Amino acid sequence: MFDFILSKYNYWIYVILMMIGFYAMIGKRNLIKKVIGMNIFQTAIILFFVSTAAKRGGTLPIIEHGHGHGAHAIQATAYINPLPHVLMLTAIVVMVSTLGVALAVLIAIYRRHNTLEEDEILRQQQK
Amino acid sequence: MISQSPVLVVVIPLIFSFLNLLFGWWKKGFCYPITLVALSLSFLASLHTLNTVITSGTIHYYLGGWNPPWGIEYVVDHLNAFVLVIVSFIALLVAIYSKKSVEKELPEKIVYLYCLFLLQVTGFLGIVVTGDMFNLYVFLEIASLAGYALIATGEDGAPFASFNYVIFGTIGACFYLLGVGYLYIVTGSLNIADLSQILPDLYNSKVVLVAFAFFLVGVSIKMALFPLHVWLPDAYTYAPSAVSALLAPLMTKVGAYVMIRIMFTVFKPYFSIELIPVTSILGWMAAGAILFGAILALAQTDLKRMLAYILVSEVGYITLGIGLANRNGLTGAILHILNDAFMMLALFLVVGAIMYRSGNREIPQLRYLHRKMPFTMAVFVIAALSVIGIPPTCGFFSKWYLILGAIDAGKWVFVAVLLVSSLLNVILFFRCIESAYLEPVAEHASGGSELVIAREESPLTMLIPILIAGAGIMSFGVLSGKIISTIIQFAIPIGF
Amino acid sequence: MRILALITVIITGIILIYGTVDMPDWGDPNSPASKHVSPGYIEEALEKTATPNIVTAVLADYRSYDTLGETAVIFTAGIACILILRRRRRQRK
């Protein structure tokens, strides 16, 4: 049981982090808080992906001895998995872009409604 | 050059959107022709792709020459190629149409709007053509980001509607990405063909089950399947006319395509049908969507908002076809991707033209429109008949296959739902047609002299796409047998 | 509303944690993710792309099309911000 927890606990931490962000996205009434929640959610996903790359006893995926030593000398188990890192480099950029667009939309909302509280905006729209 | 057509379809709009920005800074007038050239080239490339697929089978295109599980691969089969042609053709029609309406609604932002227009189309095409799960996510985000911005430029409520879409869209995309992560951790692959090879051994794994659930929820949000449609009506009502005419027919259809791909290609049909009862859940959700969309559409007086709810109900039809999970049902679903794209295109284009001429889209205000805009309203009636499902129009044929599929599956409730929704659509559209065509009796009686109403047909750049869409609705109805025998019967996933 | 959100979040969280039960242990060098595609990158990247940093090799060579998409995303976001935030000139007058 203890081994089971020890081998899985890091996934659970990311799930908890994701759910904090997810709750802020759908439960909070302030639009900035929703955007912060969105950011937490996406960051948690990135942490989750990066953690899947880990290998016990593996090092950074940069081949140190460089050229000339021949490809057969490279052991796959000696380096951690590079693919999740690559995917997350892309996902980080996507996340920043989404954040930028969301903030721009927030500015547009503020210009029209002069508030960022969801209730207040809904009240204005019903008039 | 020609053998590169699968990638050209996607890359041409991308490159031209950079050009748009460069030439647009110099002179605004360049944007419209550049956009048209880009989308025409992309449409030709997609036609060539479809032709190649029909004559010589599935295309595998290795990007950068790297072999599939390591590099990214484009896989184009009949289903892809079919949706690809629909997307690029509709984008071209909307681009032709957009000139006048954009000049009127957003005169200051033409350059950036056309830039994003092309990026939006790039995103849709990239989603459809790719054979790699993560590549799909990247293009999904391009399409979503462009969509958020385009919607936010609309009328008063638009930024808030767009913000809701940002939140929901991001949840959808994140769920999709989580699904990709869960599959990656147990398979180690991102390639769709590779995944479908590896996955059958893992069907009992809880990870795969959870991944499947997250894919479905994420894609359902993107395609606005009831009850996850809440972002759609506001967003498409407040968006500028050209933008809602681009997004409404395409975003939902691309979502439906991704759903078919995930359920029946990434996972084998027997997983989605037998191992977990997901298709029957989808069927019931779809039935809910059909009825709920039609009933809420009845409650609207704003024509565009009514169309948005009809769109919710149309998404239900496609999902119902997927949920029936038999040959007739899927034929209906894939045929409805084409038919519904054209129906929604025609309706949203007509509403845009009405907005352009009268600045008003309340249903009671449609009076005398048949005299002001006879051709535009004629197309509106054709599209309305098609949504209802009257024989010569294409809407009848996809509904026919859906009903056949429901009978094959023995689900008589769904047959009833389809018939009831047709009746609801009759009421819906009769209301609009009545207010547009029938003249108030009182004015005739009291006025005595005939009311003179000037002919105010939509401008030519708007009228041509509207007429093409109307002609499309009629001709796809007549040609539906041919479309099914040359394309759709091969597009149905293996295993049916 | 808040209760509904909380229930949704808890259900989603439980489903996600339910999925982790069957996952390979954290840091397991024999997990499928480290066995299927990634050894190919690690063993061949230096030879095929002449880049010692494998992340770079995969990012800019094997999966460079994703990176093109990534730059397109930034471009989209930039144009999107200009489109949303640009004020109409007549308001300034």
CATH of the domain at A24: 1.10.287.3510
Spatial neighbors of A80 by CB under 8 A, at least 6 apart, are A53, A54, A55, A58, A59, A60, A61
Indicate whether A13 belongs to any domain.
yes
Containing A114, the helix (H) or strand (E) segment is none
Tokens of B40: 């025409």
ipTM (interface predicted TM): 0.93
For the stretch A10-42, what's the b/e string if a residue is b when 16 or more beta carbons lie within 10 angstroms of its beta carbon?
bbeebbebbbbbbbbbbbbeebeebbbbbbbbb
Partner-chain contact B177 A98, CB within 8 Å: no
Q: Is A80 on the interface with B (CB under 8 A)?
A: no
Q: Is the pLDDT of residue A12 over 80?
A: yes
User: In the prediction, which pLDDT does B145 show?
Assistant: 93
Q: Is B146 on the interface with C (CB under 8 A)?
A: yes
Q: Is A92 on the interface with C (CB under 8 A)?
A: no
- Cβ atoms within 10 Å, residue A105: 29
Contacts of A94 in chain B (CB under 8 A): 137-138, 141
Containing B35, the helix (H) or strand (E) segment is helix B31-56
Q: Is B157 on the interface with A (CB under 8 A)?
A: yes
- Helix, strand and coil in chain B, % to nearest 5: 80, 5, 15
Indicate whether C23 belongs to any domain.
no
CB B108 within 8 A of CB C89: yes
Q: Is B113 on the interface with C (CB under 8 A)?
A: yes
Q: Is A42 on the interface with B (CB under 8 A)?
A: yes
Q: Residue A101's pLDDT band (boundaries 50, 70, 90)?
A: very high
Tell me which residue range forms the domain holding A10: 2-55+78-126
Q: Is A30 on the interface with C (CB under 8 A)?
A: no
Spatial neighbors of B11 by CB under 8 A, at least 6 apart, are none
Indicate whether C12 belongs to any domain.
no
Spatial neighbors of A67 by CB under 8 A, at least 6 apart, are C46, C50, C52
Which of B407, B379, B420, B350 minimizes the C-alpha distance to B97? B350
Indicate whether C52 belongs to any domain.
yes
Q: Say how far apart CA B160 and CA B181 lie, in whole Å.
A: 31
Indicate whether A120 belongs to any domain.
yes
Tell me which residue range forms the domain holding C88: 35-93
Count contacts between B and C (CB, < 8 Å). Answer: 123
Instruction: Concatenate the DSSP letters of all residues of A53-89 into one string.
Output: T--TT-B-SB-SS-TTS-GGG--GGGB--HHHHHHHH
Neighbouring chains of B at 3+ CB pairs within 8 Å?
A, C
User: In the prediction, which pLDDT does B10 show?
Assistant: 92
**CA–CA min distance C68, chain B (Å):** 10
Spatial neighbors of C23 by CB under 8 A, at least 6 apart, are A8, A11, B185, B186, B207
Q: Say how far apart CA A8 and CA C24 lie, in whole Å.
A: 8
Number of domains in chain A: 1
Spatial neighbors of C87 by CB under 8 A, at least 6 apart, are none
User: B428 has which bridge partners?
Assistant: none
- Going from N- to C-terminal start, the domains of chain B cover 299-496
Spatial neighbors of A48 by CB under 8 A, at least 6 apart, are A11, A14, A18, B178, B181
Indicate whether C93 belongs to any domain.
yes
Q: Is A107 on the interface with C (CB under 8 A)?
A: yes
Partner-chain contact C50 A11, CB within 8 Å: no
Termini Cα distance of chain A: 59
Q: Is A30 on the interface with B (CB under 8 A)?
A: no
User: In the prediction, which pLDDT does B485 show?
Assistant: 85
Q: Is B115 on the interface with C (CB under 8 A)?
A: yes
Give chain C's radius of gyration (CA, Å): 23
Indicate whether A66 belongs to any domain.
no
Indicate whether C22 belongs to any domain.
no
Contacts of A90 in chain C (CB under 8 A): 59, 66-67, 69-70
Round the average pLDDT of chain A to a whole number and report it.
Answer: 86
As a three-state string, the secondary structure of B187-202 is HCCCEHHHHHHHHHHH
Cβ-based interface (< 8 Å): residues of C facing B: 15-16, 18-24, 31-38, 40-41, 61-66, 69-70, 72-73, 75-77, 79-84, 86, 88-89
User: In the prediction, which pLDDT does B443 show?
Assistant: 52
Nearest chain A alpha carbon to C39 = A76
Indicate whether C40 belongs to any domain.
yes
Q: Which of B148, B163, B190 is the best residue to mutate to test the A interface, defined by the most A CB atoms within 10 Å of its own CB?
A: B163
Partner-chain contact C84 A77, CB within 8 Å: no
Report B:213-252 residues touching C (Cβ under 8 A).
213
| Total number of residues shown for chain C | 93
Contacts of B134 in chain A (CB under 8 A): 87, 90
**Residue B361 DSSP label:** -
**CA–CA min distance A45, chain B (Å):** 7
Q: Say how far apart CA B121 and CA B251 lie, in whole Å.
A: 10
Q: Which of B12, B66, B75 is the best residue to mutate to test the C interface, defined by the most C CB atoms within 10 Å of its own CB?
A: B66
User: In the prediction, which pLDDT does B2 show?
Assistant: 66
Q: Which of B19, B67, B202, B210 is the best residue to mutate to test the C interface, defined by the most C CB atoms within 10 Å of its own CB?
A: B210
User: Going residue by residue through chain B (496 aa), what tens digit of pLDDT does each one get?
Assistant: 568 888 999 999 999 999 999 998 888 888 899 999 999 999 999 999 999 999 888 889 898 888 888 889 999 989 999 999 999 999 999 999 998 888 888 888 888 999 999 999 999 999 999 989 999 999 999 999 999 999 998 888 899 999 999 999 999 999 999 999 999 988 888 999 888 888 888 888 888 989 999 999 999 999 888 888 889 998 999 999 899 999 999 999 999 999 999 988 888 888 877 778 888 888 899 999 999 999 999 888 888 899 999 999 999 999 999 888 888 888 999 999 999 999 999 999 999 988 888 877 887 777 777 777 888 888 988 999 999 888 888 888 989 999 999 998 888 889 999 999 999 999 888 888 888 777 665 555 444 445 566 777 778 888 899 999 999 999 988 888 888 888 888 888 877 7
**CA–CA min distance B3, chain A (Å):** 29
Indicate whether A18 belongs to any domain.
yes
Compute φ and ψ for B452, nearest 5 degrees: -95, 120
Q: Is A113 on the interface with B (CB under 8 A)?
A: yes
Which of B260, B258, B257, B239 minimizes the C-alpha distance to B248? B239
Partner-chain contact C74 A97, CB within 8 Å: yes
Contacts of A42 in chain B (CB under 8 A): 170, 174
Compute φ and ψ for B59, nearest 5 degrees: -100, 135
